[in-house]
Amino acid sequence: MILTSLPDLPPRPLTNANAAFRRMFYERWGRENAIVCGSGTDVAYATHPQTLSVKAAWGGSERYFLREREIAVDDDHWLILNEGSAYGSQIRATRPVASFSIFFRPGLQDEVAAAIEQSLGAALDACDPPARVARFSEHLRGQGGMVSQRLRAMREAVLAGQTSEDWLEQQLLLLLGSMLAHEARHSPRPPARSTRAELERRLRLAADFIDTCHAQPIALADMARIACLSPYHFVRSFRVQYGLAPYAYLLRKRARVARRLLAAGEVDREALAMRCGFGSRFALSRALARFSEQA
């Protein structure tokens, strides 16, 4: 299923105009591969368990509401949510936000993960595919790299009129290969695997919190609390993990968002500064200058 507009689903009311679409949608949803590619300024979907999905957005942010936290995807990050995860989503913006979601048919990720671990010779000899359960870490991932390139290329193809289900299956097989390779490269390695893995998990929660709530007042204590670390250990560990101290990471995120809004035609610097989380246009200007190359 390939949708080129955001589906008309609850909490919007059922009408005669959308009744046929909803019947078709629910007959197929969750059973087959799907792409949802559309844009909007006022969109909301209720919480529901989904298949493995990848989320991206451009021109603004789309927020996903998980059981214990909220995560926003935008021009800087994409997100993986595992099969069985229950979540809702929302777009609230003054300009249209381009939303792009991929949903994999049940079990496809396990098939690909098992095949990757099997040699070509073993695959030729096997009658039945091997068993494997593939799970991904549910956190924001920075744009750039093969997965981002594939997401952009798929979106461009859909916008250009691609509707083939065979094309979609092929693309999702290749995308899963890139996702699993990305996961393997960024998985923690020995020594002290369990300790390191837990530290990285907590730091990713803090980074997701910063990237999602950057427009709000955020104190160092808030960031450390999300990571369940003392401020001392949090600052030292975060800097090693991300190459920036937490406050600098926050300022860089705000500067990136501000730069995109300026490029989109925003002219009121004072209003822009407040919208992005800066206290004043002077703080905005300093951050733009500091992160001119990185933003």
Question: What are the per-10-residue average pLDDT scores of the chain (295 residues)?
Answer: 91 88 92 94 92 94 93 94 93 94 91 71 49 76 90 93 90 87 69 73 94 92 90 89 92 94 89 91 90 62
How high is the pLDDT of residue 133? 60
**Of 145, 167, 185, at which residue does a domain stop?**
185
Tokens linked to 180: 């699993």
3-state SS assignment for residue 131: coil
Q: Which of 136, 165, 185 is the last residue of a domain?
A: 185
Beta-strand runs (E) in the chain: 2-3, 34-49, 53-58, 62-65, 70-73, 77-81, 86-103, 140-142
Contact call for residues 77 and 100 (beta carbons, < 8 A)? no
pLDDT at 191: 43
Question: Based on the structure, what is the number of domains in the chain?
Answer: 2
Q: CA-CA distance, 275 to 198, in Å (whole number)?
A: 34
Instruction: Give the Cα separation of 82 and 90 in Å (integer).
Output: 19
pTM, entire model: 0.83
Q: Do 176 and 201 sit in the same domain of this protein?
A: no
The pLDDT of residue 186: 67
C-alpha span between 56 and 212 (Å, rounded):
13
Q: For the segment 184-208, what is each residue's pLDDT rounded down to a tens digit?
A: 776 655 444 577 888 898 999 999 9
How big is the chain, counted in residues? 295
Residues 25 and 96 in one domain: yes
Residues 131 and 255 both lie in one domain: no
Please answer whether residues 104 and 96 qualify as being in contact, where contact means their C-beta atoms are separated by less than 8 angstroms: no
Task: Specify whether 243 is located in the same domain as 172.
Answer: no
Which pLDDT tens digit goes with each residue over 19-64?
Answer: 999 999 999 999 999 999 999 999 999 999 999 999 999 999 999 9
Token code pair at residue 243 = 């190459």
CATH number where 218 lies: 1.10.10.60
Domain range for 248 is: 193-290
CB burial string 149-164: b at 16+ within 10 A, e below? ebbeebbebbeeeeee
* CA–CA dist 97, 89 (Å, integer): 13
Q: What is the amino acid identity at position 251?
A: L
Establish if 295 belongs to a structural domain.
no
